[in-house]
């Protein structure tokens, strides 16, 4: 592994106004000295833009007060090649973290164009720029959805992942294949991260915990898919960010094979909690924490507001991460409990929406 000191480096974070991206930039402000952090986001309206604007405002505030690093935000789309080329030409980032993507399994069924633009063309533009303006490390978001309906659990990065059950999953697997080709051809150190159901304060409203909360507050009924027989490896956003920061600092080593050609400096890791939780347990803890944070009244009739329904197209019954490789290579394993994570979300929600 090639150690990378992030201090004094130029770091490009795509999707910087997104959930994981904004939390990563926040963390870099805390930990990294004299870095020039460049953020890009297209600020699209896939979900409430005011949330992205709030995250961005927070980052701009932090950058004003930061004695350590600078932050420069560019509103633009990674699918626009000229924009990406301009950024690389102007700033020459040493480390690139590509988190910009069209997310969501169900949305990919009705809006496939968005996924081809952002996840395939956008990622291709990033790879091309990394080839033309060599970087020390490209880190990019993949997804647990690449495992499709794999029967073997926990999911290991050694498993075959050739059977995606959504276009979203197919684009994420494509990212891994494209990165491998560029690592092999151009010796670009790249690491893909398969995120498992990320949640936390100021998250994405299309995620179950956030959508459930919005509906319960309005008195609507929430639908629990697969009649509640779903398990998810819920991963708290700070745990994801910790993993990303560690991996940014350790790039796959460049080596030459017996044929004199590069052995691709390429790796893929799972980042998950390594502890799948039943959806009904998850919803029960969420309800308790929403009552504790006074988002819901104490006498809320939860049973009257939930409905068990069949599985949705593109969904899988279980996600479960084998994180042993991450532990072995980077000494890291996510550890935030579901209750602690949902408590932080409920307190943020009360503060953001109700004050």
User: Phi and psi for 251 in degrees, rounded to 5?
Assistant: -90, 150
Mapping DSSP to helix (H, G, I), strand (E, B) and coil, where does residue 82 land?
helix
Identified catalytic residue from 168, 199, 209, 236: 168
132 closest CA partner among 61, 81, 167? 81
Side-chain-side CA neighbours of residue 43 (13 Å): 15
Q: Rounded distance, CA 21 to CA 87, Å?
A: 17
- Structure-token pair, residue 301: 């009739």
What lies within 8 Å, CB to CB, of 352 at 6+ separation is 54, 202
- Structure-token pair, residue 38: 């460049």
Q: Rounded distance, CA 58 to CA 30, Å?
A: 13
Helix 123-132 × helix 81-91 angle, to 10°: 30
Q: Please report which residue ranges of 163-230 form alpha helices under DSSP H.
A: 167-186, 208-218
Distance in angstroms between the alpha carbons of the first and the last residue of the chain:
48
If one counts every other C-beta atom within 10 angstroms of the C-beta of residue 226, the result is 17
DSSP 8-state assignment for residue 249: T
Annotation says 209 is catalytic: no
Active site residues: 168
């Amino acid at each position: 592994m090639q150690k990378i000191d992030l201090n004094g480096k130029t770091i490009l974070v795509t999707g910087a106004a997104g959930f994981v991206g904004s939390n990563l930039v926040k963390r870099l402000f805390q930990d990294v000295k004299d870095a020039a952090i460049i953020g890009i986001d297209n600020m699209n309206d896939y979900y409430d833009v005011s949330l992205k604007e709030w995250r961005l405002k927070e980052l701009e505030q932090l950058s004003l007060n930061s004695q350590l690093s600078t932050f420069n935000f560019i509103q633009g789309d990674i699918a626009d090649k000229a924009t990406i080329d301009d950024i690389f030409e102007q700033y020459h980032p040493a480390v690139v973290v590509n988190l910009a993507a069209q997310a969501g399994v169900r949305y990919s069924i009705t809006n496939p164009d968005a996924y081809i633009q952002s996840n395939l063309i956008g990622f291709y533009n990033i790879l091309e720029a990394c080839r033309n303006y060599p970087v020390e490390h490209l880190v990019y978001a993949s997804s647990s959805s690449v495992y499709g309906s794999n029967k073997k659990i926990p999911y290991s990065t050694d498993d075959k992942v050739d059977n995606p059950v959504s276009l979203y999953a197919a684009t994420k697997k494509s990212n891994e294949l494209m990165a491998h080709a560029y690592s092999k051809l151009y010796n670009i150190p790249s690491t893909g991260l398969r995120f498992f159901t990320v949640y936390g304060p100021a998250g994405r409203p299309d995620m179950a915990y956030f959508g459930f909360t919005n509906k319960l507050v309005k008195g609507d009924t929430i639908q629990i898919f697969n009649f509640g027989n779903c398990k998810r490896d819920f991963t708290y956003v700070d745990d994801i960010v910790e993993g990303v920061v560690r991996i940014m600092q350790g790039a796959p080593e460049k080596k030459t094979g017996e044929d004199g050609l590069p052995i691709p400096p390429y790796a893929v890791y799972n980042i998950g909690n390594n502890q799948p939780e039943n959806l009904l347990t998850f919803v029960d803890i969420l309800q308790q924490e929403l009552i504790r944070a006074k988002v819901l009244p104490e006498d809320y009739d939860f049973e009257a507001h939930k409905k068990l329904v069949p599985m949705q197209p593109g969904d899988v019954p279980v996600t479960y991460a084998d994180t042993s490789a991450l532990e072995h290579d980077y000494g890291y394993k996510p550890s935030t409990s579901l209750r602690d994570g949902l408590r932080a979300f409920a307190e943020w929600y009360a503060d953001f929406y109700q004050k």
